[in-house]
């Protein structure tokens, strides 16, 4: 700010020092994991803090193959991609209808979907598992995909509804007068128009699905996802820290890459969701 007083500028400069330490603390744990994953067990025990002087990728290779992270990785990818795709389709369909179309009980249905925010998985843990059992969905990718979609849906529907209701109505009316069927309007008009919001949602939902532990822990004991796998490795590898941290790095890598690439989008997308609230 140009008009800021000299005194305030100094105050802000001084504040930047502790804020800088806080920023370092945000980066250090991931650095710690990567650095130690590159050490041999012996090097780690010799020096925990120093840089890996003789970097080795053995830990990564071992974690990937011997510790089955390759299988877990695949399970996480399938569940995340499947759920993100399904969430995109379901929430843009619902958002389109709720924001643009006029039909009875529209508001009521919106409230029903939103109010399921009051029901996190812990609150329905036992009956949710029994539902999964009854539908034969335990230990299946389809089951996990449907579960993720159901539990991450309300925010997505909310965001698409809010996004679509902010669009100029003429755009949609024009398409309808052309005699296009609703499904065509959705595919040819609403999906392209909704792209900015859908991409942001896709990223946020990727984070949610990839990072989930509780739902996967409940339903995928036989087909572990990465997060379930990593938490199981923790007990096993307490005396092989470099190997364990290599597992951590593998499990976090896709998210770290996603964050680096889409940082602006993630930050602004989440901010939009927040201000709306």
Residues numbered 104-163 forming contacts with another protein, rule: CB under 8 A: 106-107, 109-120, 122-131, 146-147, 149-151, 153-154, 157-158, 161-162
3 binds another protein (CB under 8 A): yes
| Choices 55-63, 172-180, 192-200, 257-265 (CB under 8 A): range interacting with another protein | 257-265
Q: Which pair of tokens denotes residue 103?
A: 């039909």
Q: Is 271 in the site for another protein (CB under 8 A)?
A: yes
Contact by Cβ (8 Å): 266, 259: yes
Interface positions, 221-240, toward another protein (CB under 8 A): 227, 230-231, 234, 238
Alpha-carbon span 121 to 214, nearest angstrom: 8
Question: Least distance to another protein from the beta carbon of 77, Å?
Answer: 15
Structure tokens at 117: 């925010």
The candidate with the shortest Cα–Cα distance to 215, out of 207, 198, 227, is 227
Please, which residue, 78 or 214, has the CB nearer to another protein? 214
Give the nearer residue to another protein in terms of CB position, either 17 or 53: 17
Which residue is associated with the tokens 């929430």?
91
- For residues 218 and 129, is the Cβ–Cβ distance under 8 A? yes
Site string for another protein, 36-75 (x = CB under 8 A): x-----------xx--------------------------
- State the number of binding residues for another protein (CB under 8 A): 108
Return left, alpha or beta for 179; rule: phi > 0 is left, psi -120 to 50 is alpha, else beta: left
Examine residue 23 and tell whether it contacts another protein (CB under 8 A): yes
- Residues 200 and 263 sit within 8 Å (Cβ to Cβ): no
Position 252 contacts another protein (CB under 8 A) = yes
Task: Please tell me the distance from the alpha carbon of residue 122 to that of residue 111, in angstroms, as a whole number.
Answer: 21
């Amino acid at each position: 700010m140009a008009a800021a007083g000299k005194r305030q500028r100094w105050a802000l400069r001084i504040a930047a020092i502790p804020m800088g330490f806080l920023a370092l603390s945000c980066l250090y744990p991931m650095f710690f994991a990567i650095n130690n994953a590159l050490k041999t067990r012996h090097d780690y025990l010799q020096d925990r803090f120093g840089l890996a002087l003789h970097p080795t990728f053995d830990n990564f290779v071992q974690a990937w193959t011997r510790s089955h992270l390759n299988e877990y990785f695949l399970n996480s990818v399938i569940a995340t991609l499947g759920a993100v795709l399904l969430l995109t389709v379901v929430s843009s369909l619902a958002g389109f209808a709720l924001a643009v179309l006029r039909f009875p009980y529209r508001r009521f249905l919106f409230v029903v979907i939103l109010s399921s925010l009051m029901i996190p998985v812990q609150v329905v843990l036992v009956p949710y598992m029994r539902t999964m059992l009854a539908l034969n969905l335990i230990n299946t990718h389809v089951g996990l995909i449907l579960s993720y979609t159901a539990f991450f849906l309300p925010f997505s529907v909310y965001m698409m509804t809010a996004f679509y209701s902010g669009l100029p109505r003429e755009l949609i009316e024009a398409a309808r007068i052309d005699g296009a069927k609703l499904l065509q309007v959705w595919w040819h008009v609403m999906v392209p128009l909704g792209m900015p919001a859908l991409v942001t949602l896709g990223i946020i939902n990727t984070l949610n699905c990839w990072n989930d532990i509780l739902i996967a822990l409940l339903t995928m004991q036989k087909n572990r996802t990465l997060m379930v796998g990593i938490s199981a490795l923790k007990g096993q590898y307490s005396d092989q820290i470099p190997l364990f941290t290599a597992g951590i790095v593998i499990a976090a890598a896709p998210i770290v890459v996603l964050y680096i690439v889409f940082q602006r989008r993630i930050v602004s997308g989440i901010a939009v969701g927040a201000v709306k609230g």
